[in-house]
Chain A
Amino acid sequence: MISASDGNKNTNAEPWGGFDDNLIQGSGSAVIDMENMDDTSGSSFEDMGEMHQRMKEEEEVAEEAAATEEDTGDDGEFLGMKGFKGQLGRQVADEVWQAGKRQASKAFNLYANIDILRPYFDVEPIQVRNRLIESMIPVRMIGFPQKVAGELYGPMMLVFTLVAILLHGMKTSGTVIREGTLMGTAIGTCFGYWLGVSSFIFFLAYLCNAQITMLQMLSLLGYGLFGHCVVLFVTYNVHFHWLFYVLWLVVGGVSTLRMVGVLISRTVGQTPRLILCGTLAILHMLFLLYLHFTYHKIVEGILDTLEGPNVPPIQRVARDLPDVATHLVNNTVKSLGISLQAQ
């Protein structure tokens, strides 16, 4: 009752200026905040971050005001009732305020998270370009820990690029059929590899006492995917077996060496270095092989069963399984069928 009427009075005057009133300070501000919170739940989602900030400031102001009020002492006329009421009101207001804050903080979580992430996206285009180039240049400097930029823009964009390239590869190799699932697989594979392997290596690094943070690991592995993007983009469009193997060894190897170099410089001791770098190198190189070959086998099988009428207009030649093998399989199936019919 107290806070309600007080709140109404304040809203009539001015939305945020409830503190000049000589009545109960805390309750007034709390009620107004709650009301405004409810208002923002609808349309102007944008202002919530600002409001959150403002509410924090206001809370401090309210506390200050309350403190000064206590210092100056209550007016004579309010001395008896006001002291008691003020205390009660403040207590209630505090509880209301706490509950409101808890509820509101849930809604603000999204925006708060954005603010938390913002420093990791603080890059210039030139920096990104330089880091992309550096990711292909292995540095042989073991004695001193190499610098790793803790940044997530480049890795995120590289992962999305890899998703797009994978999709492109799947489509050109003739997968109109399983498109939906392949889309999900592409996103799942890329993000799964990036996050999963980073956490795994980070865990290993923790065990091996390497000096690297999770953020640096994410950034390192993310930029390491640049080599994958280049190799896959080329080999999905130009279908030569030897080209893929050369690129796999050269480009994939170079980007792997870069990561290995960084990890070696940040680890002490032979065995930890071997474990950490061996794991990372094997995982990274095998992932590229996996991306190039795995889906294609599925596609090959489906194409074999569908045969002819369902191939898309720009279907490319089957590139990864040697022709001999498919001929062999086809012939054996045919001969088996003939022999079965004969029986």
Chain B
Amino acid sequence: MAEVDDSNKPLFAGLSDVSISEDIPVEGEITVPVGPSSQDDAYSTLDEPVKETILRDLKAVGKKFVHVMYPRKSSALLRDWDLWGPLLLCVTLALMLQGGSADSKEDGGPQFAEVFVIIWFGSVVITLNSKLLGGTISFFQSLCVLGYCILPLTVAMIVCRLVLLGGSGTVSFIVRLVMVVASFSWSTFASTAFLADSQPANRKALVVYPIFLFYFVIGWMILTFSPSS
């Protein structure tokens, strides 16, 4: 680098010899273009209230919930993925399934962990499978879609708990069965709609099968759930 400096030196050394005659005004206005700075202000989230930040994130999550319930051809779930929604859904589902094992002498600890692990381990397996089959989707995008698509099953879980409050007879079982089957097919359909485009056309069936199995196991857990009396 020393060489570069040396070679530069004579260039700038010549400048000191330049004389500027007095009548030419050496002054002017330095203007900074305003556009970029205002844009920075618009995107800056440092000085906004915390409430706004949280609300914005919640709004983004809510928007994706709507996307899952209305599985249109849209890339919003894929484009800006986040894992907040899946975490929220997963924790909700696991907490609601928690009461199921309270009738044993153990305190039901495994249940929460079990649901949690099934959901995350299952989605990781599905994602790896889709990557191995030559899918073009990225790892976290797939996790995001699979996580958000648990939403119908979580809704089914809430309904099941409400139905179970009324009692657990044949009627309530039929209601829960219908609810779970509907939400299970909804979940599978929605996630397939989002993920299918990223797969080679001839291998869709191979990708859909593990997704089907994954939601089937979760749906089964919801259906067989019985609160402790």
Chain A residues close to B by CB (< 8 Å): 2, 5-6, 45-46, 77-78, 81, 114, 117-118, 120-125, 128, 153, 156-157, 160-161, 164, 167-168, 171-172, 176-181, 183, 309-310, 312-314
Least Cβ distance of A166 to chain B in Å? 11
User: Is B128 close to A, CB under 8 A?
Assistant: yes
Q: Which of B104, B110, B129, B139 contacts A156 (CB 8 A)?
A: B129
User: Is B175 close to A, CB under 8 A?
Assistant: no
Least Cβ distance of B86 to chain A in Å? 17
Using known A-B contacts A125-B202, A176-B103, A180-B110, determine if residue A46 contacts B139 with beta carbons closer than 8 Å: yes
Chain A residues lying within 8 Å of B132, measured Cβ to Cβ, are: 114, 117-118, 120-121, 153
Chain A residues lying within 8 Å of B131, measured Cβ to Cβ, are: 114
Chain B residues close to A by CB (< 8 Å): 1, 3, 100-101, 103-104, 109-111, 113-114, 118, 125, 128-129, 131-134, 138-140, 168, 173, 202-203, 205-206, 209-210, 213, 216-217, 220, 224, 226, 229
Main secondary structure of the interface of A (DSSP, over half): helix
Using known A-B contacts A114-B131, A179-B111, A310-B103, determine if residue A77 contacts B202 with beta carbons closer than 8 Å: no
Least Cβ distance of A303 to chain B in Å? 12
Q: Which of B113, B203, B217, B226 contacts A312 (CB 8 A)?
A: B226
Considering the complex, give the chain A residue whose CB is closest to the CB of B1: A5
Chain A residues lying within 8 Å of B206, measured Cβ to Cβ, are: 123, 125, 128, 153
Chain A residues lying within 8 Å of B217, measured Cβ to Cβ, are: 164, 167
Considering the complex, give the chain B residue whose CB is closest to the CB of A121: B132
Apart from the given pairs A123-B203, A153-B206, A157-B210, 11 other A-B contacts in the complex at a CB distance below 8 Å: A2-B1, A5-B1, A6-B1, A81-B3, A160-B125, A161-B213, A171-B220, A176-B103, A179-B110, A183-B114, A314-B173
Using known A-B contacts A123-B206, A125-B202, A167-B220, determine if residue A160 contacts B118 with beta carbons closer than 8 Å: no
Q: Are B1 and A177 in contact (CB under 8 A)?
A: no
Chain A residues lying within 8 Å of B202, measured Cβ to Cβ, are: 124-125
Chain A residues lying within 8 Å of B213, measured Cβ to Cβ, are: 157, 160-161, 164
Q: Are B224 and A160 in contact (CB under 8 A)?
A: no
Least Cβ distance of B56 to chain A in Å? 19
Q: Which of B128, B210, B216, B226 contacts A313 (CB 8 A)?
A: B226
A203 CA to B68 CA in the complex, in Å?
A: 49
Q: Are B205 and A114 in contact (CB under 8 A)?
A: no
A313 CA to B202 CA in the complex, in Å?
A: 42
Q: Are A181 and B110 in contact (CB under 8 A)?
A: yes
Chain A residues lying within 8 Å of B216, measured Cβ to Cβ, are: 164
Chain A residues lying within 8 Å of B210, measured Cβ to Cβ, are: 157, 160
Q: Which of A81, A125, A179, A181 contacts B205 (CB 8 A)?
A: A125
A268 CA to B113 CA in the complex, in Å?
A: 50
The 8 closest A-B pairs by CB, nearest first: A180-B110, A121-B132, A125-B205, A177-B104, A46-B138, A313-B168, A180-B114, A171-B224
Least Cβ distance of A25 to chain B in Å? 15
Interface centre among A118, A153, A168 (most CB of B within 10 A): A153
Chain A residues lying within 8 Å of B101, measured Cβ to Cβ, are: 176-177, 179-180
Q: Which of A77, A114, A120, A122 contacts B3 (CB 8 A)?
A: A77
A157 CA to B212 CA in the complex, in Å?
A: 11
Chain B residues lying within 8 Å of A124, measured Cβ to Cβ, are: 202-203
Chain B residues lying within 8 Å of A114, measured Cβ to Cβ, are: 128, 131-132
Chain A residues lying within 8 Å of B103, measured Cβ to Cβ, are: 176-177, 310
Chain B residues lying within 8 Å of A310, measured Cβ to Cβ, are: 103
Considering the complex, give the chain A residue whose CB is closest to the CB of B133: A121
A6 CA to B1 CA in the complex, in Å?
A: 8
